[in-house]
């Protein structure tokens, strides 16, 4: 007998554990399991082990709405975030529902049974289960390998090349010259973290990034917590941060020139007098065209100011025995080269979807409100915001999923499927111009250019539409539960 579950969640990262919490709370009697490819909880926050690994958003918004973040630090280190996810899983008994080492490879929908058949690999065998509802929380990138451009002369280099996604436990960089290639969130985290022990750390970037400093501790949150307790202070601080971040984002969208000047002014104040801010900290794009980088307590700027770290803006010609030769002709000495050059994106954990015998080409699907897929029944996925904390969206998607499952029950429906009308134009689901995102966009679903297919990028607006908006809009189609169907098969009921 094939095991049957009401809900199958794919991925035991921040999103998957949150999803399991919502399902368990809303439907205590339903059966569910979390299939996890790795042998650990935490996803990103377990995988990345590089020095200084931390969030680059505040934990009041990266934390779950239902579980207050109580540490004093709002910009938290990786191990604390991992502990938070593990504690959430343990508190709800979710950890007992996780099936580790179960990478899901295939998901096959059959309308005649109104079920998904899921195949996962485990111990060299294929494990098969069926489920009513499939909830994909598999993140957005390939776990096995990060993005590492090929540089000429790699074989000539006498030192060590490491990627932040596969940090070697035995790497000792004490007293060594380190070059970190990249200018994104990982690079700006690594540079000050490694500067303490290394002889010198150079951040080698092709293109500068906007970098803002924020106190690692939120004095307001910490003071308020003492007065009104964890839960109330968490809710208030969460909204304060949502509104602050939305305001900054909107200002950057509407007044890019003013915001460019404003950020430049802040950066000049952070750096030693005479520092060439325009070469190293003036990106050619507008703020928030790519993710803005946050550094806690000015740590990157302090490392540069002390001389322990520096920034070089140039292009790599090749690696040499002793370092990196740049196109300008300069050579950077290096014992260790860290390629903080990004991720390899992967949609839905590489799972092959089939609906009623037809394989699904994910790149040509349209996403409904950035969480369901056109033509794919009883399915939802979590991809968080790119302009705000991931979990803000993840929580809302789970709330919507619970609303939808309740709606199905109340109307005796067994199946829902959003169906796009012809002629809706597709826009990128990940609305970002970073190179590693652009390279993979074709493999991701598209977002539509009009509602309900448009991707919401505003938490307050999404909160209204996902928590309170109509479930049975024009795009959504429902089918009665199998037991209630006519004998001649499925009966599609447009809303
Ligand atoms: C270094 C780093 C720092 C970040 N910092 C922030 C931040 O500060 N703020 C922010 O908002 N976002 C940040 N992000 C984005 C971050 O990925 C999300 O915040 C969040 O951790 C994503 O959680 P997730 O559970 O959706 O995905 P993941 O953390 O990627 O977890 C996905 C899980 O699914 C599993 N999985 C994948 N495919 C399959 C499969 N086929 N079968 C079974 N299991 C599968 C994986 O093994 C993994 O455990 C950061 C990302 C990185 C890489």
Answer yes or no: is pLDDT of 34 > 50. Answer: yes
pLDDT for residue 489: 40
pLDDT for residue 480: 94
pLDDT above 70: percentage of residues in the chain: 97
Pocket of ligand 1, beta carbon within 6 A: 10-16, 35-38, 43-44, 48, 55-57, 62, 103-104, 137-139, 143, 186, 349-351, 382, 384, 389-390
Query: What confidence tens digit (pLDDT) does each residue in 372-401 have?
Result: 999 999 999 999 998 899 999 999 999 999
| Residue 342 tokens, joined | 């990004």
Domain boundaries, the chain: 3-144+344-480, 154-335
Residue 290: band (very low, low, confident or very high) from pLDDT cuts 50, 70, 90: confident
Measured in angstroms, how far is the CA atom of residue 438 from the centroid of ligand 1?
Answer: 19
How far is Cα 162 from Cα 152, in angstroms, rounded to an integer?
A: 16
Nearest CA to ligand 1 atom 19: 390
- Average model confidence (pLDDT) for the chain? 94
Lowest mean pLDDT among 108-117, 190-199, 290-299: 290-299
417 Cβ contact partners less than 8 Å away, ≥ 6 residues apart: 375, 376, 377, 378, 476, 477, 479
Query: What confidence tens digit (pLDDT) does each residue in 57-69 have?
Result: 999 999 999 999 9
Closest atom, ligand 1, to C-alpha of 394: 26
CA trace torsion 170, 171, 175, 178 (10° rounding): 180
pLDDT for residue 386: 85
The average pLDDT across 45-62 equals 96
Q: How many CA atoms lie within 13 A of 407 on its CB side?
A: 21
Task: Give the strand pairing for 32-35 and 98-99.
Answer: parallel
Q: How many CA atoms lie within 13 A of 245 on its CB side?
A: 28
Nearest CA to ligand 1 atom 20: 14
pLDDT for residue 15: 98
pLDDT for residue 434: 72
Instruction: For residue 236, give the 3-state DSSP assignment.
Output: helix
240 Cβ contact partners less than 8 Å away, ≥ 6 residues apart: 60, 220
The average pLDDT across 99-119 equals 97
How far is Cα 169 from Cα 14, in angstroms, rounded to an integer?
A: 24
Query: What confidence tens digit (pLDDT) does each residue in 297-317 have?
Result: 999 999 999 999 999 999 999
Is the CB of residue 419 less than 8 Å from the CB of residue 475? yes
Beta bridge partners of 290: 287
Query: What confidence tens digit (pLDDT) does each residue in 406-456 have?
Result: 999 999 999 999 999 888 888 888 777 777 788 888 899 999 988 899 888
Would you tell me how many other CB atoms lie within 10 Å of the CB of residue 102?
24
Cis peptide, bond prior to residue 452, ω within 30 of zero: yes
Instruction: For residue 371, give the 3-state DSSP assignment.
Output: coil
The average pLDDT across 343-370 equals 96
- Which of 33, 35, 42, 43 to probe ligand 1 with, by most ligand atoms within 8 A of CB? 43
Environment class of 104 (CB within 10 Å of its CB; exposed 0-12, middle 13-18, buried 19+): buried
Query: What confidence tens digit (pLDDT) does each residue in 123-158 have?
Result: 999 999 999 999 999 999 999 989 888 999 999 999
Is the CB of residue 95 less than 8 Å from the CB of residue 101? no
Beta bridge partners of 133: 7
Closest atom, ligand 1, to C-alpha of 105: 41
Query: What confidence tens digit (pLDDT) does each residue in 159-204 have?
Result: 999 999 999 999 999 999 999 999 999 999 999 999 999 999 999 9
What is the dotted CATH code of the domain comprising 3-144+344-480? 3.50.50.60
Answer yes or no: is pLDDT of 365 > 60. Answer: yes
Closest atom, ligand 1, to C-alpha of 15: 25
Answer yes or no: is pLDDT of 254 > 70. Answer: yes
How far is Cα 89 from Cα 14, in angstroms, rounded to an integer?
A: 10
How far is Cα 440 from Cα 443, in angstroms, rounded to an integer?
A: 6
In degrees, rounded to 5, the angle at the alpha carbon of residue 431 between the alpha carbons of residues 428 and 435 is 95
147 Cβ contact partners less than 8 Å away, ≥ 6 residues apart: 341, 342, 343, 344, 436, 439
pLDDT for residue 35: 98
pLDDT for residue 492: 42
pLDDT for residue 426: 81
Residue whose structure tokens are 């806690």? 296
pLDDT for residue 495: 38
pLDDT for residue 485: 58
Measured in angstroms, how far is the CA atom of residue 46 from the centroid of ligand 1?
Answer: 9
Nearest CA to ligand 1 atom 15: 390
Instruction: For residue 57, give the 3-state DSSP assignment.
Output: coil
How far is Cα 114 from Cα 116, in angstroms, rounded to an integer?
A: 7
Nearest CA to ligand 1 atom 33: 11
pTM: 0.95
Would residue 305 be called left, alpha or beta, if left means φ above 0 and alpha means ψ between -120 and 50 degrees?
alpha
Measured in angstroms, how far is the CA atom of residue 14 from the centroid of ligand 1?
Answer: 7
Answer yes or no: is pLDDT of 481 > 80. Answer: yes
Nearest CA to ligand 1 atom 39: 349
Residue 484: band (very low, low, confident or very high) from pLDDT cuts 50, 70, 90: low
């Amino acid at each position: 007998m094939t095991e049957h579950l009401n809900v199958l969640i794919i991925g035991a990262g921040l999103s998957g554990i949150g999803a399991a919490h919502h399902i368990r709370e809303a439907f205590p009697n339903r059966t569910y399991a979390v299939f996890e490819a790795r042998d650990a909880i935490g996803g990103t926050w377990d995988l990345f082990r590089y020095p200084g690994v931390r969030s680059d958003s505040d934990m009041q918004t990266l934390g779950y709405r239902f579980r207050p973040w109580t540490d004093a630090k709002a910009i938290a280190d990786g191990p604390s975030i991992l502990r938070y996810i593990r504690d959430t899983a343990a508190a709800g008994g979710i950890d007992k529902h996780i099936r580790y080492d179960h990478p899901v490879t295939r998901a096959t929908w059959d309308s005649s049974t109104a079920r998904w058949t899921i195949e996962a690999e485990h111990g060299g065998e294929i494990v098969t289960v069926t489920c009513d509802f499939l909830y994909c929380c598999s993140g957005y990138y390939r776990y096995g390998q990060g993005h590492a451009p090929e540089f000429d002369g790699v074989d000539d280099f006498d030192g060590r090349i490491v990627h932040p996604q596969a940090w070697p436990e035995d790497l000792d960089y004490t007293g060594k010259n380190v070059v970190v290639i990249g200018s994104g969130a990982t690079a700006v985290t690594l540079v000050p973290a490694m500067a303490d022990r290394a002889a010198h750390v150079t951040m080698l970037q092709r293109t500068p990034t906007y970098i803002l400093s924020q106190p690692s501790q939120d004095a307001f949150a910490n003071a308020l917590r003492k007065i009104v307790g964890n839960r109330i202070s968490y809710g208030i601080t969460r909204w304060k941060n949502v509104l602050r971040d939305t305001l900054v984002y909107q200002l950057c969208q509407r007044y890019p020139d003013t915001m460019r000047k404003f950020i430049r002014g802040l950066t000049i104040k952070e750096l030693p007098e005479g520092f060439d801010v325009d070469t190293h900290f003036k990106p050619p794009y507008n703020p928030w065209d790519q993710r803005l980088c946050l550094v806690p307590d000015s740590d990157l700027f302090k490392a540069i100011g002390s001389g322990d770290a520096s920034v070089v803006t140039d292009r790599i010609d090749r690696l040499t025995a002793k370092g990196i030769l740049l196109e300008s002709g300069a050579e950077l000495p290096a014992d260790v080269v860290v390629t903080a050059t990004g991720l390899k994106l992967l949609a839905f954990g590489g799972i092959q979807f089939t609906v009623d015998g037809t394989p699904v080409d994910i790149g040509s699907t349209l996403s409904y409100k950035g969480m369901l897929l056109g033509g794919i029944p009883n399915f939802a996925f979590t991809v968080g915001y790119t302009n705000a904390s991931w979990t803000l969206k993840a929580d809302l998607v789970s709330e919507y999923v619970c609303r939808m499952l309740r709606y199905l029950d109340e109307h005796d429906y067994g199946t829902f499927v959003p169906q796009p009308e012809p002629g809706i134009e597709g826009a990128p689901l990940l609305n970002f111009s970073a190179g590693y995102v652009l390279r993979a966009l074709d493999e991701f679903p598209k977002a539509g250019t009009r509602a309900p297919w448009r991707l919401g990028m505003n938490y307050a607006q999404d909160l209204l539409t996902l928590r309170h908006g109509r479930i049975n809009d024009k795009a959504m189609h429902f089918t009665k539960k199998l037991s209630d169907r006519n004998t001649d098969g499925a009966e599609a009921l447009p809303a």
